[in-house]
Amino acid sequence: MSLSVVILAAGKGTRMRSSLPKVLHKVANKPMVGHVIDAARQLDAENIYIIYGFGGEVLKATLTENTSNDDLIFIEQTEQLGTGHAVDMASPSIKDDEDILVLYGDVPLTKVSTLQKLLDVKPDNGMGLLTVNLANPNGYGRIIRKDNSVVGIIEQKDATPEQLLINEANTGILLANGEDLKRWLGNLSSDNAQGEYYLTDIIAACHNEGKDIATAHPESEVEVEGANNRLQLATLERAFQLRKAEEIMLAGASLRDPSRIDIRGDLVIGQEVQIDINCIFEGEVVLAHGVKVSANCILKDCIIGENTIIKPNSIIEGAVVGDDCSIGPFARLRPGTIMNKDSHVGNFVEMKKTILGEGSKAGHLTYLGDTTIGQKVNIGAGTITCNYDGVNKFHTSIDDGAFVGSNSSLVAPVFIGANATVGAGSVIAKDVEAEELAVARGKQRNISSWKRPTKK
């Protein structure tokens, strides 16, 4: 049977103290509802219904930006009349012969494996319900059982003192056949303390029809926790990051402190990887075998080759780094940069759209933009490739074995030949052929009668 998912995302989130819809607040640099959508897609959901309310245009624009959204169907809930009413908004689109999984846009950490367990336990004649045993279930609806079978759910505000002692709580996540779900939703009543249509009332309806209700449970409470304010949001962020830290440690990484790492995307690692404190990984990052990442580094959408060392406070974005390289400290590699095997950039070196050849190095205080550098080239401290004339960008080529002296400016477009030498302090605006020495300095004058200014 096919599967569709309904995600409730209509809450304003007043306690967030924000003009942004609650579900767009981020965990690991992704909107909470984005995590939920990712889980639905991993379950191969045919359709994903997003029930929205406040900030709908912002929500739709955010979720459809830079991504395929053919599976997303946005449905507006103009009145906030409860969770049952919200799910019922999707009823005209739901097919009788499909299963419907109900998820929540502000509950981002539910594992796909947990949802798969729910799919696996659902009986053919009945529904599946995700429940959790809580030490403190305050605020949650309680699971009512008779002879160990689920017969209903009672909300906190409607519960008796005896029912409030129940520790098995409702997560709100459930799975039902489309035809059954639409029938149960159509029969909901708002005769309760809140005057709302509770989705939880369909559990009693299912039981009263003699259908089975099977339960599944998450591995931990945090999987079913939501965020209603920024404190809870921060708690989810730390839980997510600890989960990611555990995953990469089990994959072979050593973390100096698992509580001080941030993974905001996908991090793929080889064995014997070492990561120091306060490092941030964004987008798609690959760390090959033996990579060492020192403290306070930021890596985004990059590939780092085997045994490369990234020294403290370096930033790498959109770059490909080969094996046995060293970077930093305080280096910046910008998009389009390629460092070949055994190359080196040191402190306060910035590269953009630059290829650094095998065995080449730029040790200090250097900017290399739109540049191709051959093998075993030495770039002296303070060297700049002047690639921009205020309107257009131009390219610099430096051939194998060249030596560029300190504090040189290479005015693109310009070519430095193989084994050529540029004298320190030169401004090079013309090509330098192979083996040549280029010196381009103003004539020095020493004035013996000059007096220093004195303070008046």
Q: Which helix (H) or strand (E) holds 231?
A: helix 230-250
230-438 CATH? 2.160.10.10
Statement: residue 217 has pLDDT above 70:
yes
For residue 27, give the nearest of 247, 230, 284, 172 by alpha carbon: 230
Position 158 confidence tier, pLDDT thresholds 50, 70, 90: confident
For residue 328, give the nearest of 300, 299, 287 by alpha carbon: 299
Task: Show Cβ contacts of residue 167 under 8 Å, excluding neighbours closer than 6 positions.
Answer: 133, 134, 135, 137
Could you give the CA distance from residue 311 to residue 415 in angstroms, rounded to a whole number? 31
Instruction: Give the pLDDT mean for 372-387.
Output: 98
Catalytic residue among 25, 207, 364, 395: 364
Q: Cβ of 324: how many Cβ atoms within 10 Å?
A: 18
Instruction: Give the pLDDT mean for 306-326.
Output: 98
pLDDT of 66 reads 64
pLDDT of 11 reads 83
Q: Which two tokens stand for residue 440?
A: 């381009």
Q: Which helix (H) or strand (E) holds 76?
A: strand 72-76
pTM: 0.90
Instruction: Give the pLDDT mean for 274-284.
Output: 98
Position 362 confidence tier, pLDDT thresholds 50, 70, 90: very high
> pLDDT of 181-192, one tens digit each?
999 999 998 887
The mean predicted confidence, pLDDT, of the chain is: 95
Task: Check the CA dihedral 9-12-13-18 and report its sign.
Answer: positive
Instruction: Give the pLDDT mean for 321-331.
Output: 98
2-224 CATH? 3.90.550.10
364 catalytic? Reply is yes
pLDDT of 68 reads 66
Statement: residue 82 has pLDDT above 70:
yes
Is the distance from CB of 93 to CB of 205 less than 8 angstroms? no
- The more confident residue out of 73 and 54 is 73
Place of tokens 């502000």: 106
Is the distance from CB of 265 to CB of 280 less than 8 angstroms? no
Position 71 confidence tier, pLDDT thresholds 50, 70, 90: confident
Instruction: Return residue ranges of the chain for CATH 2.160.10.10.
Output: 230-438
pLDDT of 401 reads 98
Q: Which two tokens stand for residue 316?
A: 């790498």
Position 212 confidence tier, pLDDT thresholds 50, 70, 90: very high
pLDDT of 166 reads 96
Position 155 confidence tier, pLDDT thresholds 50, 70, 90: confident
pLDDT of 67 reads 62
Statement: residue 375 has pLDDT above 70:
yes
* Phi, psi values for residue 278, rounded to 5°: 60, 35
What pairing do the DSSP bridges indicate for beta strands 414-416 and 421-422? Answer: unpaired
Position 163 confidence tier, pLDDT thresholds 50, 70, 90: very high
Q: Is 211 exposed, middle or buried (0-12, 13-18, 19+ CB in 10 A)?
A: middle
For residue 216, give the nearest of 138, 152, 129 by alpha carbon: 129
pLDDT of 54 reads 86
> pLDDT of 15-57, one tens digit each?
888 889 999 999 999 999 999 999 999 999 999 999 999 888 9
% residues pLDDT > 70 (the chain) = 99
Instruction: Return residue ranges of the chain for CATH 3.90.550.10.
Output: 2-224
> pLDDT of 114-153, one tens digit each?
999 999 999 999 999 999 999 999 989 999 999 999 999 9
Could you give the CA distance from residue 326 to residue 321 in angstroms, rounded to a whole number? 9
Statement: residue 435 has pLDDT above 70:
yes
Instruction: Give the pLDDT mean for 100-113.
Output: 97
Statement: residue 214 has pLDDT above 70:
yes
Alpha helices, H only, 123-229: 178-186, 201-208
pLDDT of 106 reads 96
